[in-house]
């Protein structure tokens, strides 16, 4: 038996630097997994309201956490842009934000590429308007007020694109005026602030070592994660995994309010979980370039954001057996903060193992023999070889996104963004 630590701290600096963009993109793809099921259950307009609810509940909370972790203490547009660069709503390159800072309290950004638009545009103008108008207006402000409650993000232009090839995809102003009324915190974010996820303590960033330990100073045009210290990368990975958990809690709260029954809400939540579980595992397998053996499966599970961060979920992995009979065991404790919050992990049980099956079979289709049992309060899940299976419908729906096959590029040494004249 070989025990595998679930901590991001067990990964080296270079691996963490490759992993961070993947984790950020994984968080963006949660909605590609969940919203299709909401459209089927409730229609486009209610789907849009669920998206608004989930992001407005989660974003102010996790932005505040990232600000604290990286010592982003200011209240200007530069500080807001720093937070956006580490937000699952704006994964690098896939959501290619380009920033301009006019002065401390005035700036702009454009999206040179919007992966979310590329996913939604084929569905027609009504869906584009739902995302780029109905959803973005309140959720952008909810993100902004985590930095300054007098901040406003307003469109210069945005889709539906006219002409059809309009570029950049959208453009926005960011203004902070001292005599402007403060926006209230969204009610959902106040509720979210009471969860275990909002308050869990993660790994401290330690002084010293090679690379950045905080985000004090200039805004970088792109974040090159290889430039950050090992302990900073560990904490950022943990925070981004936690962003997944907070967004899922926001999604679940809204879906429950709009469902006809608890059973309907549970079904939608589990479908969302299954889709993102499999799609993220597939991308993580490619990121790590692992073999499809027991060690490779364990390597993917140990960094999967659904199962982290360890301080919140408390999962444990062991590899058992020898040779072709090797299997992987996943233990999910029944007394974790994740269970207390009634989030994703609480919806995996011996009768509902589809998310784990999706993760395992994404590493190789023959990791298909997935069984579970209770050991006291803990859920013990055994993953063994079986007949090759097809990808589940939930994962196939999530794979609709162009993010499923998106490739990150090396953009070289990033430049700092300096204020320019607003003239």
Residue 60 CA to residue 56 CA, distance in Å, equals 7
3-state secondary structure at position 377: coil
Name the residue among 145, 167, 148 with its Cα closest to residue 158. 167
Question: What per-residue confidence (pLDDT) applies to 421?
Answer: 60
Residue 347 CA to residue 423 CA, distance in Å, equals 55
Average pLDDT value for the chain: 96
pLDDT tens across 358-390, in order? 999 999 999 999 999 999 999 999 999 999 999
CA distances from 262 to 135, 265, 399 (A): 25, 5, 27
Residue 217 CA to residue 101 CA, distance in Å, equals 14
CA distances from 133 to 52, 90, 190 (A): 11, 17, 24
Question: What per-residue confidence (pLDDT) applies to 5?
Answer: 79
Residue 26 CA to residue 192 CA, distance in Å, equals 21
How many CB atoms within 10 Å of residue 321? 13
Residue 340 CA to residue 155 CA, distance in Å, equals 40
Name the residue among 42, 48, 55 with its Cα closest to residue 130. 48
pLDDT tens across 25-80, in order? 999 999 999 999 999 999 999 999 999 999 999 999 999 999 999 999 999 999 99
Can you give the length of the chain in residues? 423
Work out whether the CA dihedral 113, 116, 118, 123 comes out positive or negative.
negative
Question: What per-residue confidence (pLDDT) applies to 92?
Answer: 97
Tally DSSP H helices, then E strands, for the chain.
Answer: 16, 11
User: What share of the chain in percent tops pLDDT 90?
Assistant: 96
Question: What per-residue confidence (pLDDT) applies to 316?
Answer: 96
Q: How many CA atoms lie less than 13 Å away from 93 in the CB half-sphere?
A: 14
DSSP states of 61-120 as a string?
A: HHHHHHHHHTT----SHHHHHHHHTT-TTS-TTTEEEEEEEEETTEEEEEEEEEHHHHHH
Residue 275 CA to residue 379 CA, distance in Å, equals 21
Query: Could you tell me where the DSSP H helices lie in 169-261?
Result: 187-192, 196-199, 230-258
Spacing of C-alpha 231 from chain mean position: 20
3-state secondary structure at position 253: helix
pTM: 0.97
pLDDT tens across 110-142, in order? 999 999 999 999 999 999 999 999 999 999 999
Task: Evaluate whether 202 touches 311 at the Cβ level (below 8 Å).
Answer: yes
Residues in the chain where the model's pLDDT stays below 50:
422-423
Q: Supply 338's token pair.
A: 């994740």
Q: Supply 417's token pair.
A: 């963004």
Buried/exposed code over 169-206 (b: 16+ C-beta within 10 A; e: otherwise): bbbbbbbbeeeeeebebbebbeebeebbbbebebbebe
**Cα angle: 294, vertex 296, 300; to 5 degrees:** 115
For 16, the enclosing helix (H) or strand (E) is helix 13-28
Work out whether the CA dihedral 233, 236, 241, 242 comes out positive or negative.
positive
Question: What per-residue confidence (pLDDT) applies to 186?
Answer: 96
Residue 284 CA to residue 15 CA, distance in Å, equals 11
3-state secondary structure at position 177: coil
For 23, the enclosing helix (H) or strand (E) is helix 13-28
Tell me the backbone φ, ψ of residue 17, rounded to 5 degrees. Answer: -65, -35
DSSP states of 293-361 as a string?
A: SHHHHHHHHHH-GGG--HHHH--EEEEESSGGG-EEEEEE-TTSHHHHTT-GGGG-BTTB-HHHHHHHH
Q: Supply 257's token pair.
A: 């309010």
Residue 378 CA to residue 380 CA, distance in Å, equals 6
């Amino acid at each position: 038996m070989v025990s595998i630590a679930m901590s991001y701290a067990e990964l080296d600096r270079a691996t963490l630097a490759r992993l961070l963009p993947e984790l950020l993109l994984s968080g963006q793809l949660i909605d590609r997994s969940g919203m299709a099921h909401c459209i089927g259950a409730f229609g486009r307009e209610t789907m849009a309201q669920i998206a608004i609810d989930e992001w407005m509940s989660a974003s102010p909370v996790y932005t505040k956490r990232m600000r604290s972790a990286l010592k982003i203490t200011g209240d200007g547009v530069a500080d807001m842009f720093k937070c956006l660069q580490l937000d699952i709503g704006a994964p690098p390159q896939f959501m290619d934000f380009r920033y301009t800072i006019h002065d401390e309290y005035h700036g702009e950004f454009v999206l040179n590429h919007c992966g979310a638009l590329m996913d939604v545009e084929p569905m027609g103008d009504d869906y584009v308007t739902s995302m780029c108008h109905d959803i973005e207006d309140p959720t952008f402000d909810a993100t902004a007020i985590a930095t300054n409650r007098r901040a406003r993000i307003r469109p210069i232009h945005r889709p539906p694109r006219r002409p059809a090839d309009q570029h950049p995809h959208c453009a926005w102003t960011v203004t902070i005026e001292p005599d402007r009324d403060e926006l209230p915190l969204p009610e959902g974010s106040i509720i979210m602030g009471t969860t275990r996820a909002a308050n869990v303590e993660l790994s401290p960033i330690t002084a010293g070592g090679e690379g950045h330990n905080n985000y004090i100073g200039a805004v970088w045009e792109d974040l090159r994660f290889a430039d950050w210290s090992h302990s900073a990368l560990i904490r950022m990975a943990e925070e981004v995994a936690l962003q997944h958990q907070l967004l899922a809690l926001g999604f679940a709260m809204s879906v429950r309010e709009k469902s006809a029954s608890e059973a309907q809400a549970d079904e939608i939540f589990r479908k969302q979980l299954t889709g993102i579980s499999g799609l993220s595992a597939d991308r993580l397998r490619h990121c790590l370039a692992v073999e499809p053996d027991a060690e490779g499966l364990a390597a993917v599970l140990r960094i999967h954001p659904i199962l982290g961060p360890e301080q919140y979920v408390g999962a444990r992995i062991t590899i058992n057996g020898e040779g072709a009979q090797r299997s992987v065991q996943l233990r999910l404790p029944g007394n974790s903060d994740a269970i207390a919050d009634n989030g994703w992990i609480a919806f995996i049980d011996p009768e509902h193992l589809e998310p784990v099956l999706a993760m395992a079979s994404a590493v190789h289709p023959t990791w298909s023999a997935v069984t579970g049992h209770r050991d006291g309060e803990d859920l013990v899940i055994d993953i063994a070889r079986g007949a090759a299976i097809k990808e589940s419908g939930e994962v196939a729906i999530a794979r609709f996104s162009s993010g499923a096959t998106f490739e990150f590029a090396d953009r070289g040494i990033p430049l700092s963004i300096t204020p320019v004249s607003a003239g």
